[in-house]
Amino acid sequence: MGFSIATWNINSVRLRIGLVERLLKEWQPDVLCLQETKCPQGQFPSAPLKEIGYGHIAEFGQKGYHGVAIVSKRPFTAQTSHDFCSKGDSRHVSVTFEGAKPIELHNFYIPAGGDEPDPKVNEKFAHKLQFLDELEAWSTQKAKAKGHRILVGDLNIAPLVHDVWSHKDLLKVVSHTPIETDAMKRIMAAGAWHDVMRRHVPEDQKLYTWWSYRAKDWNAADRGRRLDHIWTDAALAERSGGLQVHRDARGWQQPSDHVPVMARFDI
């Protein structure tokens, strides 16, 4: 049986619900995970998505900032959220797809971390590092669990040399500093997660999911970063049959600065 999952930082789901519909019609993923919905809990625009076959929606939003949601053709159970850093932020939501082999799905929006990569002077960067520490401990526990698991989302870190347009120029830029990329390496070393995107695109090839709004011509400059990720347990990673990064979506009318990413699995 096929199972496809997409992830997209939508940067306001109410403003861009038309783009969400367009993506769902075009790609028909079984599941779409959204981040930065910027939509208070209870105000998620579910109706147009239910009309096109996505009848199961887990929303976890708050006013103004952050916000995550899972939009699915398939039913799920056990919606939960873990409050990393105990701030009450809407940055994680999880559901389980039941079946012969249940699949636990986690959708994350990790703090961006501000501009200054120094936790002593920038509390937003300190928050990001604490979030990563807690994610490492949580992942260590996950690694002991049996069964399939998937983690997707805007992790706001581009870990590898070719996950950014210039490794040298971005070493001091939040999202690609050694302190962050080392933290992500520790999370991966916990053993729960495998990088599905890089199973399909070799590490010596550029791979981006985000281009700044501030560029004059994002496509010509092509100064992108891979901030969005799809991770799974080892067995599911072995069964991943395809990857798509929807670069064209960055050029849609009134776009998000992130593009959708989708992986397919044979389960």
Q: How far is the CB of 150 from DNA (least distance, A)?
A: 23
Token readout for 109 is: 């929006």
- As to burial, measured by CB atoms within 10 angstroms (0-12 exposed, 13-18 middle, 19+ buried), residue 201 is middle
| Closer by beta carbon to DNA, 14 or else 185 | 14
Query: CA 24 to CA 18: how far, in whole Å?
Result: 10
Residue 7 makes contact with DNA by CB under 7 A: no
Residue span binding DNA (CB under 7 A) among the ranges 93-101, 108-116, 196-204, 259-267:
108-116
Q: How far is the CB of 142 from DNA (least distance, A)?
A: 24
Query: CA 9 to CA 13: how far, in whole Å?
Result: 9
Query: CA 156 to CA 164: how far, in whole Å?
Result: 12
| Closer by beta carbon to DNA, 15 or else 235 | 15
Q: Which residues of 16-27 are buried (b: 16+ CB within 10 A; e: fewer)?
A: bbebbbebbeee
Residue 24's DSSP bridge partners are none
The contact pattern for DNA, residues 189-218, with x = CB under 7 A and - = no contact, is -----------------------xxx----
Pairing of strands 148-154, 103-109: parallel
Please count the residues of this chain forming the interface with DNA, following the rule CB under 7 A: 20
- For DNA, the binding residue among 111, 117, 153, 159 (CB under 7 A) is 111
Give residues 30-69 in contact with DNA (rule: CB under 7 A): 36, 38, 40, 63-65
Give residues 239-258 in contact with DNA (rule: CB under 7 A): 254
Residue span binding DNA (CB under 7 A) among the ranges 9-17, 45-53, 133-141, 185-193:
9-17
Give residues 146-175 in contact with DNA (rule: CB under 7 A): 156
Structural element, H or E, at residue 210: strand 210-211
Q: Is the dihedral of CA 150, 97, 71, 107 positive or negative?
A: negative
Q: For binding to DNA (CB under 7 A), which residues are involved? A: 11-12, 14-15, 36, 38, 40, 63-65, 111-114, 124, 156, 212-214, 254
